[in-house]
Amino acid sequence: MRILIISDIHSNMAVFEAEEFDACLCAGDVVDYGCDPSEVVDWVQENAAACVRGNHDHAVGQKVRPRGGPGPRHLAFATRPLHWQRMSDDQLKWLSQLPTSQFIELDGKQFYLVHGTPRDPLEEYLGPKQADWQQRLKNIDADFVCVGHTHQPYLLELDNGTTVVNPGSVGQPRNLDPRAAYAIYENGTVTLKQVEYAIKDAIASYRTAGLPDDVCELALQTLTDGGLRL
Ligand SMILES: [Fe+2]
């Protein structure tokens, strides 16, 4: 069984190109930052066997006004109102009702999905730190723990046999590599992948949406550099 593991799509429809899979798992942040929220939600609803809520899904679904600020905060500030125009009430409700964590059994393996960590499912950033993950997952029995939020891909094998999978961000990478990041599970093994996609289509969507020049420029810089070079 081939399982596509994705996270942090962030309303970027341009990333969905050919990748064969039997099932898809999504670790949250379906929306915000990009311009295609409605299409991306449709895709996830149709293709994901399980999806958990990210902090940005929560904010969009709950109509939280963005605070603004530099870099990604400015992108959220500019694009969140567009989400409220472009998404249906049902889609906003779906975002609001996504679980914050979920177990699912596939291919005889137990998968556990959470956007951040079990300690703080929406907000905690945790990199590939063995001791911290062992502690966070003390009460979680799973073969694979799929997380997101950091936009940095990593695989971490814990001493108890659990593998923590952070596929990175498929639609808004921040590891200074502009390619779409994701992971593939096959035959009990997970592999991290990065593929090129039509970044120009993603950037064009900001212009088509009529967003201001500085926002289009910020999107161009972020997506072509794979995160801001601060
Ligand atoms: Fe994110």
- Segment 129-162, tens digit of pLDDT: 999 999 999 999 999 999 999 999 999 999 999 9
Structure tokens given for 133: 């993950």
How far apart are the C-alpha atoms of 200 and 214, rounded to whole Å?
Answer: 17
How far apart are the C-alpha atoms of 188 and 229, rounded to whole Å?
Answer: 36
What is the pLDDT at residue 229?
Answer: 65
Residue 115 in any domain: the answer is: no
Q: How many domains does the chain have?
A: 1
Say if CB 203 and CB 223 are below 8 A apart: yes
Q: Which domain holds residue 68?
A: 2-102+169-225
Cα 28 to ligand 1 centroid, rounded to whole Å = 8
What is the pLDDT at residue 17?
Answer: 79
Residue 78 in any domain: the answer is: yes
Q: Quick one: DSSP state of residue 6?
A: E
How far apart are the C-alpha atoms of 119 and 194, rounded to whole Å?
Answer: 29
What is the pLDDT at residue 162?
Answer: 98
Residue 16 in any domain: the answer is: yes
Residue 23 in any domain: the answer is: yes
Question: For 82-97, what is the mean pLDDT?
Answer: 98
Cα 208 to ligand 1 centroid, rounded to whole Å = 23
Cα 57 to ligand 1 centroid, rounded to whole Å = 9
What is the pLDDT at residue 228?
Answer: 75
- In three-state secondary structure terms, 94 is helix
- CA dist list (Å): 166 to 77, 149, 206: 26, 9, 28
Residue 156 in any domain: the answer is: no
Say what the pTM is: 0.97
- In three-state secondary structure terms, 218 is helix
Share of the chain above pLDDT 90, in %: 93
What is the pLDDT at residue 175?
Answer: 92
Cα 63 to ligand 1 centroid, rounded to whole Å = 17
Residue 126 in any domain: the answer is: no
CATH at residue 95: 3.60.21.10
Residue 24 in any domain: the answer is: yes
Residue 48 in any domain: the answer is: yes
Cα 109 to ligand 1 centroid, rounded to whole Å = 26
